[in-house]
Structure 1
Amino acid sequence: MPSHLRPDASKNFVGDFTFHHFNMILSGACTGVTCLVIFTVMARHATHLSDPHQQLKIMRIATLFPLYTLYSFLSICFPNAYVYMVGWTKVFQGVALYWFLMLLCDFLAPNDRHRVEFFASLSIPKRYGRTKTTNGLLWLKHTWYLVLQYPIVTFVLAIVQSITQAQGIYCLEGKGAHFSHLYITVIEILSLAVAMTSILRFHSNLKSYMQEHKPMMKLLAFKMVVGLEFLEQIIFMILNSTGTLKISDTMTYADIIIGLPTLIICLQVVPFALLFYYAYSLKPYTTLNVRRVGDSQQYLTEVDSETGSPHVKRYQGGPLGIHAWLALFNPVEFFRDIKSTFNMFRDTKMEQSGLGKA
């Protein structure tokens, strides 16, 4: 690929606009709509935070949409920075997929103690081997590791991609063994396949326990965007290799290789953002009995997960959901959740080992 991409063609694409300018206007509008829809979803959950464990995870998953479409829009505006930015969109996908798995776990059990009890009581069918079933808690541990590897792998690949691009050995269209593009693409596809297979098997084995939460719709609401992008990459690869898409007076190399595929991403994210609004509805968190008191704060009557008795509880988001927003933008929460889950598996293993010796 050229060392420096020329964004504007010699002739206008429509009216007084080149394809690059037309693309920026249309993609920018789609990015604005997507951000508005997702911000509305996040703001509603932040101001009606009745279940912080679940709703904060929903807000973290939702950040995939504005980040994904914003990075795509910036890639159109600055095509020479595309290779440096596109790798990080995969990192956002990996983090969102991890939070989705933890959200499903919250649907099944509200805390670590209940989670251990629930999964320890399950026998999960095995796909391979002579043993027909495996312990549910051990299976959860394996699933957790297989999903967690995806954001870690994509983070490393994003750094490697930026370094190799700067060194001139990445090559966006390079298929040769001496270009890093081939190896990065293969590793990324394998990592994604492992994570997605684990999530789908998790849903398949436990969907009967989560029917009221519609987990498959929730997964499709944000992973279909990624799935379509993967399919479109194959289509554009075929079109470019067969010479169907060619550089012309109205379309530059940057328009064909980066601009057009990225425009499609910005367009298709809009309907999926609307689907996300529906799939992650606020209704389950506001259908409890709501009443007003003297200070105009909203209170909810709900059932305590420990005792089973009803109690009164306020929305916990604070004024304009400030507490939820602060928790959302705290990057430490991701690592804290990983540490907490790892400790849960470690402590459970130690307890089981102590009981075995006793």
Structure 2
Amino acid sequence: MASTTCLEKERELKVLSKEIRTWYGVLQFIPTSIIIWIATVASLATGTYCKQSNSVHFAHLWLTLLVGYTTTVAIINSVRFYKINKKLLQKHRILFKLLTFKGILGLNFLQSFIISLLAGHGKLIPTKYMTFHDINTGLASLILACEMPIFAVLLLFAFPPLPYKQQGSPAAGPLNAIFDAFNISDLLSAFYRGPMRLVRDQQRQIMRQDSIRIAMVSPGGHEEREGRSAVPAA
């Protein structure tokens, strides 16, 4: 009985650890994006960025790979979160929402990366119609601008307004809504308080299950078994 309980606790702790890793795997995208932006500005200021080159001696290659890595980790953990809570989220079509929203970011990164590779290897060169900045900056933006109407239509189906319509009066005014939109304290606290809340909830669940197991055991069962074991064999 004790070994079974220990195995169940170990299994529950593994699930909890997986949920915490998933939590941080999604939220890491925000601070890493800020760090990458700061590193990009610093490398541009020091002349070590060099967007037209894919050499390992410049920051452009490493920052591009880092953006791809952090984006991939965030998407994978978002899908993992969906799988863990599939029964609760399936009716909200979360996977469709995720693919519609993250598809814009993923496609933009992929297109920019391909254009950067082609420009770095001399396959895309400036002409009398396109300058160097047109190729490295304007071309990816132009392609994305042509694709955005498609994603705009998909977003209308992924995020219909009907579930968000309130039947009663508004809970707060527009100024409070604007303040809440700019208030990022809940986002900052999510990095610490969220996983800690998962730990506390998991501990309470384990204690509750232990209490149920103790209550299910008969009070006199243990004494009866001891009495039987004390009777000598005939």
Residue 335 of structure 1 aligns with which residue? 188
Equivalent pair of 1:164/1:180 in contact (CA under 8 Å): yes
Residue 42 of structure 2 aligns with which residue? 163
For residues 169-248 of structure 1, the aligned pairs below 5 Å read: 169-237=48-116, 239-241=118-120, 243-248=122-127
Equivalent pair of 2:75/2:102 in contact (CA under 8 Å): no
Residue 108 (structure 2) pairs with residue 253 (structure 1): no
Equivalent pair of 1:316/1:323 in contact (CA under 8 Å): no
Cα deviation 1:18-40 (Å, max 9, x = unaligned): xxxxxxxxxxxxxxxxxxxxxxx
Equivalent pair of 1:317/1:323 in contact (CA under 8 Å): yes
Mapped partners of 1:180, 1:239: distance in 2: 18
Equivalent pair of 2:54/2:120 in contact (CA under 8 Å): no
Mapped partners of 1:184, 1:231: distance in 2: 14
Equivalent pair of 1:147/1:195 in contact (CA under 8 Å): yes
Residue 217 of structure 2 aligns with which residue? none
Which of residues 183, 198, 217 is equivalent to 1:345? 198
Equivalent pair of 1:247/1:256 in contact (CA under 8 Å): yes
Q: How far is the alpha carbon of 1:172 from its aligned partner?
A: 0.9
Do the aligned partners of residues 271 and 316 (structure 1) sit closer, same or farther apart at CA in structure 2, a change above 3 Å counting?
A: farther
Mapped partners of 1:230, 1:343: distance in 2: 33
The structure with higher relative contact order (CA 8 Å, sep 6+) is: 1
Cα deviation 1:208-265 (Å, max 9, x = unaligned): 3322100011102211111211221243245435645332222211111111111222
Q: How far is the alpha carbon of 1:350 from its aligned partner?
A: 6.7
Equivalent pair of 1:221/1:272 in contact (CA under 8 Å): yes
SS in 2 for 1:210: helix
Cα deviation 1:65-96 (Å, max 9, x = unaligned): xxxxxxxxxxxxxxxxxxxxxxxxxxxxxxxx
Q: RMSD across aligned C-alpha pairs, in angstroms?
A: 3.2
Do the aligned partners of residues 346 and 212 (structure 1) sit closer, same or farther apart at CA in structure 2, a change above 3 Å counting?
A: closer
**Higher helix fraction (1 or 2):** 2
Residue 69 of structure 1 aligns with which residue? none
Residue 177 (structure 2) pairs with residue 324 (structure 1): yes
Which amino acid in the other structure matches residue 334 of structure 1? L
State the TM-score, normalized to the length of structure 1: 0.49
For residues 68-79 of structure 1, the aligned pairs below 5 Å read: none
SS in 2 for 1:163: helix
Q: How far is the alpha carbon of 1:159 from its aligned partner?
A: 0.7
For residues 272-291 of structure 1, the aligned pairs below 5 Å read: 272-286=151-165, 290=167
Mapped partners of 2:47, 2:121: distance in 1: 26
Mapped partners of 2:135, 2:105: distance in 1: 20
**Higher strand fraction (1 or 2):** 1
Which amino acid in the other structure matches residue 165 of structure 1? L
Higher-Rg structure is 2
State the TM-score, normalized to the length of structure 2: 0.72
